[in-house]
């Protein structure tokens, strides 16, 4: 009789365990962690934060750069090979409203090669295509909803020079907002190469 | 037939006058010509320019900011533009809007101020004929929409009813299937119970006596009374519990299926799926650094500074920007600190698509962790994946050496993809 009681007890426990484990997990709950001190970083990481930072404003691990700091995102300063090598720090202090200065003074320091054009295309697909469209006709998937996206081959757009395009990517113009935070100057110049290609192509 | 404008129209006029003498004998041809003539005259009377050419020009140059209807887009709607302004004024304006505004033209300045001092782009290479063509197209398009709306209205309504009917059919189908399955299960249960009771009791049950339920009950009590069956059942239970416990222990720290509620109901389905915005547009770090980056609010503003400003969810971003407070997004993919992972290496060098690890993000309303992110999962991929060595001189020697001793292609595992210190240090 003792054995049957034991069996009964184990059976009951088994059923309870089944009932608990078969429940669906709440999607808001990340689940159990074993030894969390091996999961959480000892140093302060920007994108992994469990507790408020004790010193920084708003408890953020990240801090804003000191006011007046000039971002220097591209570390290469030589572009091109041989005699055509150009040295450019790519730090341009052209104010947002002075697009004329950019048009007159800025030139593309990156030589136009097959590679730079291909890289420009990759960047164009990532950062521009959803509005400006694959051919630059302003017919991207977002462009239709956003409205006011020009056709690169239309009117004055067809002849816009490199400095102008660079300035617009950096600071925005009209309905387009600045994209300088997403593309560093070197990448912007590569996009400029590809945009020139789209201005020329026959549609 | 190629249509070359007025030249052919003249020819047709001549022909009609020639054939008009033989009206009676050539009646069908005559009516045909009259119709052709009438149509061409109607076109010529309504507009001065070539509407077909105007349509292409309009779509290439104007459509991004103007609509042919009265609806206001970026610029004013162009319905009835010829009544508002005369052609010479329009030509001057289109060729050089800034000069018009600078010269103090009353209407130009009014328009400029009405549209928040956003100046129209100049189109100096559109000729006067081009502009007339565009105006002709605008007039033509405004005459057409009523008929078009009628034509498209009917099928749309039909489609809606068909759609409404579809789910109910499916529902009935599922219901019937469920019923069939239930009946089958009941039958199988009965068969099992009779066989078991036969085996246990060693005697045939008195077949057709009593209802189905009483038969089931007597058979079950007989089975339950047998010690072999009882201990077997209990052992099955115990083993199942052990398995569940081991599985549970293995899942400690695995967050597969984690889909936390975010402070702003951002939909990847809408942005990455419907609008096909590239992942890299917002997650700028994915191709450049270790972290894929959670986009800062200024990237949201690239579009939402202009569109959908009134949505309550987007108002939350505005609030965050105005108060200079961070948006507290909940991180979904939490790789433990003991393992190192680099996005740029996998995206740029490995050439992986985001979806390979993150699942069908473009179909998710709320982002969920699809992959387990366990070490076994990492290693498995490193063992299976070929290294893309084509056109990369760096790998030439490695591929040659690898080929001497091994048969298969060069895998990630062969170039250190399984070494502990690559990820744990």
Of B74, B293, B294, the CB nearest to A148: B74
Q: Which of residues 173-202 of A touch B (CB under 8 A)?
A: 174-175, 177-179, 181-182
Q: Are residues B127 and B183 in the same domain?
A: no
Chain B hits for A28, Cβ within 8 Å: 259-261
CA distances, B125 to each of A148, A157, B258, B381 (Å): 20, 11, 57, 57
Tell me which residue in A25, A126, A154 faces B60 most closely, judged by beta carbons: A154
Q: Which two tokens stand for residue A166?
A: 């660079």
Which chain A residues contact residue B239 at CB under 8 A?
none
Q: What would the pLDDT profile of B51-62 be if each residue is shown by its tens digit?
A: 888 888 887 788
| Residues with pLDDT less than 70, chain A | 1-4, 20-25, 73-74, 202-203
pLDDT digits (tens, 9 = 90+) for B175-203: 899 999 999 999 899 888 888 877 776 55
- Residue B160: its pLDDT value, please? 40
How far is it, in rounded angstroms, from Cα B94 to Cα B334?
A: 56
Average pLDDT of the residues in B33-52: 54
Question: Considering the entire predicted model, what is its pTM?
Answer: 0.72
Q: Which domain holds residue A153?
A: 78-200
**Residues with Cβ < 8 Å from B69, sequence gap 6 or more?**
B77, B78, B79, B142, B145
- The answer on A129 and A56 residing in a single domain is no
Whether B322 shows a pLDDT value over 80: the answer reads: yes
Are A177 and B302 an interchain contact pair (Cβ–Cβ within 8 Å)?
A: yes
Nearest CA in chain A to B246: A21
Q: Is the domain of A194 the same as that of A97?
A: yes
Name chain A contacts of B123, Cβ cutoff 8 Å. 154-156
Distance from CA of A157 to the nearest CA of B (A): 8
**B262 burial via Cβ count (<10 Å: 0-12, 13-18, 19+):** middle
Determine the length of chain A. Answer: 203
B332/B359 Cα distance (integer angstroms) = 13
A153–B336: do the CB atoms touch at under 8 Å? no
Which percentage of chain B shows pLDDT scores above 90?
33
Spatial neighbors of A35 by CB under 8 A, at least 6 apart, are none
Average pLDDT of span B288-316? 92
Distances (CA, A) of B219 to A138, A143, B183, B199, B209: 76, 72, 19, 11, 12
Question: Looking up tokens 């459509």, which residue turns up?
Answer: B63
Residue B145 pLDDT = 67
Domain containing B90 — which CATH number?
A: 1.10.760.10
Strand partners, B411: B386
pLDDT bin (cut points 50, 70, 90) of residue B21 is very low
State chain B's maximal CA–CA distance in angstroms: 116
Q: Looking at the DSSP assignment, which residues form a beta bridge with residue A176?
A: A173
CATH number of residue A126's parent domain: 1.10.760.10
Whole-number pLDDT of residue B211: 73
Nearest CA in chain A to B277: A130
User: Which residues contact residue B137 at a Cβ distance below 8 angstroms, ignoring those fewer than 6 apart?
Assistant: B51, B52, B54, B55, B57, B58, B68
Determine whether the interchain pair A158/B307 forms a contact, defined as Cβ–Cβ distance below 8 Å: no
Mapped onto helix, strand or coil, the DSSP state of residue A197 is helix
Tell if the CB–CB gap between B281 and A126 is shorter than 8 Å.
yes
Instruction: Identify all chain B residues contacting A27, using CB atoms and an 8 Å cutoff.
Output: 257-260, 366, 368
Dihedral of CA B231/B237/B243/B246: which sign?
Answer: negative
The answer to whether the Cβ–Cβ distance between A174 and B125 falls below 8 Å is no
Using a CB–CB cutoff of 8 Å, tell me whether A6 touches chain B. no
A25, A141, A146: residue with CB nearest B307: A146
Cα dihedral sign, B2-B8-B13-B15: negative
Element (H, E) at A79: strand A78-79
Q: Of B83-87, B160-164, B238-242, which range is least confident?
A: B160-164
In A47-149, where does DSSP find H-type helix? 99-105, 114-127, 129-132, 143-146
User: Using CA of residue B267, residue B273, residue B277, residue B280, what is the dihedral sign?
Assistant: positive
Chain A contacts of B344, Cβ < 8 Å?
none
Paired residues of A86 in beta bridges: A79
Q: Which of A30, A127, A164 to mutate to test the interface with B (most CBs of B within 10 A)?
A: A30
A61: which DSSP letter? S
Q: What is the value of ipTM here, to two decimals?
A: 0.85
**Domain C-terminal end among B228, B244, B269:** B228
The vertex-A64 CA angle with B286 and A41, nearest 5°, equals 60
B343-365: average pLDDT:
92
Closest CA to B369 of B329, B332, B331: B332
Residues B77-87, mean pLDDT to the nearest whole number = 83
DSSP letter, residue B366: S
A7 interface with B at CB cutoff 8 Å: yes
Percentage of chain B modeled with pLDDT above 70: 80
Q: What DSSP character marks residue B295?
A: P
Indicate whether A91 belongs to any domain.
yes
| Coil, helix or strand at residue B27 | helix
How many domains are there within chain B?
4
More confident residue, B372 or B39: B372
Token pair for A82: 């041989």
Check CB contact under 8 Å for A181 and B337. Answer: no
**pLDDT tens, B210-234?**
677 787 788 888 888 888 888 999 9
Test mutation, B54, B130, B241, chain A, max A CBs within 10 A: B241
Q: State whether A83 and A59 are in the same domain.
A: no
For an interface test with B, give the residue of A142, A158, A186, A201 to mutate (most B CBs within 10 A): A142
Please tell me whether residues B192 and B220 are part of one structural domain.
Answer: yes
Same-domain check for residues A143 and A82:
yes
CA–CA distance, B1 with B176 (Å, rounded to integer): 60
Residues A172 and A147 in one domain: yes
- Please check the confidence at residue B244 and state whether its pLDDT lies above 90: yes
Chain B: nearest CA to A87, how far in angstroms? 23
- Cα B368 to Cα B259: distance, rounded to the nearest angstrom: 4
The count of structural domains within chain A is 2
| Residue span of the structural domain in which B223 resides | 173-228
CA B66, CA B75: separation in Å to the nearest integer?
5
Return the pLDDT at A195: 95
The chain-wide mean pLDDT, for chain B, equals: 80
- Residue whose structure tokens are 């018009």: B100
The first and second tokens of residue B231, run together, are 């201990």
């Amino acid at each position: 009789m003792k054995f049957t009681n034991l069996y009964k007890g184990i059976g009951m426990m088994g059923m309870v365990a089944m009932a608990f484990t078969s429940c669906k997990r709440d999607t808001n709950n990340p689940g159990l962690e074993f030894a969390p001190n091996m999961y959480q970083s000892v140093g302060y990481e920007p994108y992994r934060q469990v507790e408020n930072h004790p010193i920084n404003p708003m408890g953020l691990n990240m801090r804003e750069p000191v006011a007046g700091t000039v971002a220097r995102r591209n570390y290469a300063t030589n572009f091109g090979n041989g005699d055509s090598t150009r040295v450019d720090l790519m730090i341009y202090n052209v104010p947002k409203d002075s697009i004329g200065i950019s048009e007159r003074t800025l030139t593309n320091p990156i030589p136009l090669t097959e590679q730079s054009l291909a890289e420009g295309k990759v960047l164009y697909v990532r950062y521009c295509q959803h509005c400006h469209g694959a051919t630059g006709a302003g017919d991207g998937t977002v462009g239709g909803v956003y409205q006011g996206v020009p056709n690169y081959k239309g009117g004055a757009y067809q002849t816009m020079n490199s400095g102008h395009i660079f300035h617009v990517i950096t600071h925005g113009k009209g309905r387009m907002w600045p994209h300088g935070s997403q593309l560093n100057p070197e990448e912007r110049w590569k996009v400029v190469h590809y945009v020139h290609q789209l201005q020329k192509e026959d549609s | 037939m190629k249509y070359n404008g007025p030249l052919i129209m003249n020819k047709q006029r001549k022909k009609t006058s020639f054939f008009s003498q033989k009206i009676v004998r050539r009646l069908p041809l005559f009516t045909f010509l009259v119709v052709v003539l009438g149509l061409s005259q109607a076109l010529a009377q309504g507009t001065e320019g070539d509407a077909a050419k105007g349509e292409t020009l309009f779509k290439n140059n104007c459509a991004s900011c103007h609509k042919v209807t009265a609806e206001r887009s970026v610029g004013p709607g162009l319905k009835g533009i010829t009544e508002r302004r005369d052609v010479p004024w329009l030509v001057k304006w289109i060729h050089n809007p800034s000069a018009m505004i600078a010269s103090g033209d009353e209407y130009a300045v009014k328009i400029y101020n009405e549209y928040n001092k956003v100046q129209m782009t100049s189109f100096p290479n559109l000729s006067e004929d081009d502009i007339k063509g565009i105006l002709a197209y605008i007039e033509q398009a405004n005459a057409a929409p009523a008929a078009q709306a009628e034509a498209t209205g009917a099928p749309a309504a039909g489609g809606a009813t068909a759609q409404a009917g579809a789910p109910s059919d499916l529902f009935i189908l599922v219901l019937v299937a469920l019923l069939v399955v239930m009946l089958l299960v009941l039958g199988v249960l009965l068969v099992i119970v009779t066989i078991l009771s036969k085996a246990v009791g060693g005697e045939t049950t008195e077949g057709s006596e009593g209802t189905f339920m009483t038969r089931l009950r007597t058979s079950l009590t007989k089975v339950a009374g047998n010690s072999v069956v009882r201990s077997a059942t209990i052992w099955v239970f115990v083993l199942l519990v052990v398995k569940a416990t081991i599985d549970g222990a293995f899942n400690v720290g695995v967050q597969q299926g984690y889909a936390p509620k975010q402070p702003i109901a951002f939909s990847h389905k809408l942005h990455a799926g419907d609008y096909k915005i590239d992942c890299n547009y917002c997650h700028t770090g994915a191709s450049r650094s270790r972290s894929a980056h959670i986009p800062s609010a200024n990237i949201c503003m690239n579009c939402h500074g202009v569109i959908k400003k009134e949505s309550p969810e987007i108002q939350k971003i505005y609030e965050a920007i105005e108060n200079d407070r961070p948006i507290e997004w909940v991180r979904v993919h939490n790789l433990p600190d003991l393992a190192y992972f680099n996005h740029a290496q996998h995206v740029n060098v490995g050439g992986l698509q985001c979806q390979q690890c993150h699942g069908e993000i473009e179909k998710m309303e709320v982002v969920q962790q699809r992959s387990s992110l366990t070490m076994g999962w990492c290693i498995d991929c490193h063992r299976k994946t070929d290294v893309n060595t084509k056109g990369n001189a760096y790998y030439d020697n490695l591929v040659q050496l690898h080929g001497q001793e091994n048969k298969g292609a060069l895998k990630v595992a062969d170039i250190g993809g399984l070494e502990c210190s690559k990820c744990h240090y």
